[in-house]
Amino acid sequence: MGKSLRVAYGEALVKLGQKNDKIVALDADLAHATMSATFAEAFPDRFFNAGIAECNMMGMAAGFAHTGYIPFASTFALFGSGRAYEIIRNSIAYTNTNVKFGLSHSGLSVGEDGGSHQSIEDVALMREMPNMTVFVPCDPTEMEKAVFAAAEIDGPVYIRVARPVCEDITTEDTPFIPGKANILKDGNDVCIITMGLMVPIALKAAEMLEAEGISAAVVNMHTVKPIDAETILAMNEKCKGIVTAEEHSVIGGLGSAVAEVLAGHAGAKFERVGIQDKFGKSGKPAELFAAYGLTAENIVEKCKATLA
């Protein structure tokens, strides 16, 4: 039985709130979609609705943080990272203010709502800000760890929260160290570096490659910033090719972050699977993943391209 990452986010917030009375939550009239409502039910006096006003929600969250609270602000990833971008930039990141963002409905997996609601640039927008940490958890267990890790960090943390139900890949015992990637499967020929909902798809691609006699590693880059350059460079030394796979634009996201690390390392063979400079559209998540090439088959093809 899987669980939606947003449900895991809401439950994790409650657990965190039980341990730390400085945790407060804000939402912009989407509490029942982001699941910050779970926190609101548990701690009604520590939940503040900003109404449909994302910019003001971020400003108010900063105000809370300046008096010693640890606010978690939630809304859809697109409106949080996009509309409120400059509030986050100037009133939170610039000041290294202790605000956490749990922004949900990220990526194409929003599905039927279509391109207006599918955030494919949030990781890019968040990771280019100094002082910002960016987490992209891949399953419910990792989501809880990310929420707790965010509270431990003194500064802004972006947590990308996806909507679909997904199975656990990691376990209670899997370490979650910010900035330290997890090698989920080792391999020698090609390394797939991935995050979020693409992790299980990358694992499937690795299996398909193994069946063809190609040894493929899979790295879960749960922290996109600070990026684990050490692991990327070690895998680049060991493997002939590197392929990134993300439910995000290939411009500015994980693919770009890895490319930035690989740049200057002559001879790196590198391919990116992700949304190729296009907006999303309405459809079922699985249909959209297929239409935009977010598939195990496409990852396999790109891996082979690096080996050619």
Partner 1 sequence: MNYEKKAKELRQEILKSLFACQSGHPGGSLSCVEILMALYYDEMKNLDPKDPKKADRDRLVLSKGHACPTLYAILADLGYFPKEDLAHLRQIDSHLQGHPDCNKTPGVDMNTGSLGQGMSLATGLALAAKHAKADYKVYAVVGDGECQEGIVWEAAMSAAHYKLDNLCVLLDYNGLQIDGTNDQVMGLGNIVEKFKAFGFECFEVDGHNIEEIDKAIEAPVSGKPKFICCHTIKGKGVSFMENQVGWHGRPLKPEEFETAMKELEA
Of 159, 167, 208, 161, the C-alpha closest to 185 is: 208
Q: Minimum CB separation from partner 1 for residue 303, in Å?
A: 44
CA separation for the pair 49, 25 (Å, rounded)? 8
Out of 50, 219, 245, 300, name the contact with partner 1 by CB under 8 A.
Answer: 50
User: Whole-number minimum distance, CB 176 to partner 1, in Å?
Assistant: 29
For residue 42, which of 67, 15, 78, 71 has the smallest C-alpha distance?
Answer: 15
Q: How many CB atoms lie within 10 A of CB 51?
A: 10
10: helix, strand or coil? helix
62 touches partner 1 (CB under 8 A)? yes
Per CB under 8 A, 91 contacts partner 1: yes
Give me the helix-helix angle, 229-238 and 254-262, nearest 10°.
70
Select from 66, 265, 278, 284 the one that contacts partner 1 (CB under 8 A). 66
Q: 99 or 184: whose CB is closer to partner 1?
A: 99
Binding piece for partner 1, criterion CB under 8 A, among 42-50, 74-82, 166-174, 213-221 = 42-50
Pair 9, 143: CB distance under 8 Å: yes
| 63 lies in the binding site for partner 1 (CB under 8 A) | yes
Alpha carbon distance 303, 167 (integer Å): 25
Binder of partner 1 out of 95, 174, 215, 282 (CB under 8 A): 95
We find the least distance from the C-beta atom of residue 136 to partner 1, in angstroms, to be 27
Q: Does 69 bind partner 1 (CB under 8 A)?
A: yes
66 vs 46: CA distance, rounded Å: 16
Q: Which stretch binds partner 1 (CB under 8 A): 4-12, 58-66, 181-189, 291-299?
A: 58-66
Active-site residues, by number, are 54
